[in-house]
Amino acid sequence: MDLPDAAEQAAIGARLARQDEAALQEAYERYAPVVLAYVSRYVGRDEAEDVVQRTFLDAWRGASRYDPNQRFTAWLFTIAHHRAVDTLRARRHTVVDVESIRDLAGDDGRETASRFADAADVRWAVARLPEHERTVLEMAYFQELTQKEIAARLDVPLGTVKARASRGTRRLGEIMRATEEERR
């Protein structure tokens, strides 16, 4: 998935704040899949789509409260978190399901929402890496393969995997730093 960079995120948020319906459509198209994955962790797949719909409805209704100095993804994931918590509370369980709230951090889950926003930004940055570097990093971090296993799967020398991992990690850091500087 190709998420917008910081400047594009801010632009979407600013347009949304001006009640630009096209911005809402664009935000939904770009972010709904990651918001769905996020809220599914709490409410399950059956209710997650309803939570996503309520999230974007609330984003539309409350768009005037979006602060352009804030990351759009953090703002959106915070709304999603609140809607997921509302859904859990509406279940009216007599006993709190510890599994459904285990990953929440802090009183309102902002840390978790922030981690998902960070993860979305990292996925965006990883997508900008050259394919050979991206493949090595994805295999190492997402498939949890060793460099030796990666070399065997890609049928390349171990030294090549090490060089690609090193260059990819360095380039990823540069992309992330540049994105952070754009936000400031």
pLDDT digit string (tens) for 104-131?
Answer: 555 555 666 677 777 777 888 888 899 9
* pTM of the full structure: 0.54
What CATH number does domain 128-184 carry, 1.10.10.10, 3.30.450.40, 1.10.3210.10, 2.40.50.140?
1.10.10.10
d(CA 130, CA 112): 29
Q: How far is CA 38 from CA 17, 55, 85, 157, 180, in A?
A: 24, 12, 12, 37, 23
Angle at 37 between CA 103 and CA 131, to 5 degrees: 110
**Amino acid 97: pLDDT:** 57
- Burial of 98-111, coded b for 16+ CB within 10 Å and e otherwise, reads eebeeebeeeebee
**Amino acid 76: pLDDT:** 92
Q: Domain 1-121: which CATH class?
A: mainly alpha
Half-sphere exposure of 36 (CA within 13 A, CB side): 11
pLDDT class for 32, splitting at 50, 70, 90? very high
For the chain, the average pLDDT equals 83
Question: Does 79 score more than 90 pLDDT?
Answer: yes
**Amino acid 50: pLDDT:** 92
**Amino acid 61: pLDDT:** 92
Q: What is the mean pLDDT of residues 154-181?
A: 87
**Amino acid 154: pLDDT:** 92
pLDDT class for 22, splitting at 50, 70, 90? very high
| Contacts with 55 (C-beta within 8 Å, 6 or more apart), sequence order | 35, 39, 76, 79, 80, 83
Domain with CATH 1.10.1740.10 in the chain: 1-121
Question: Does 53 score more than 90 pLDDT?
Answer: yes
Domain with CATH 1.10.10.10 in the chain: 128-184
Q: Are 102 and 88 in contact (CB under 8 A)?
A: no
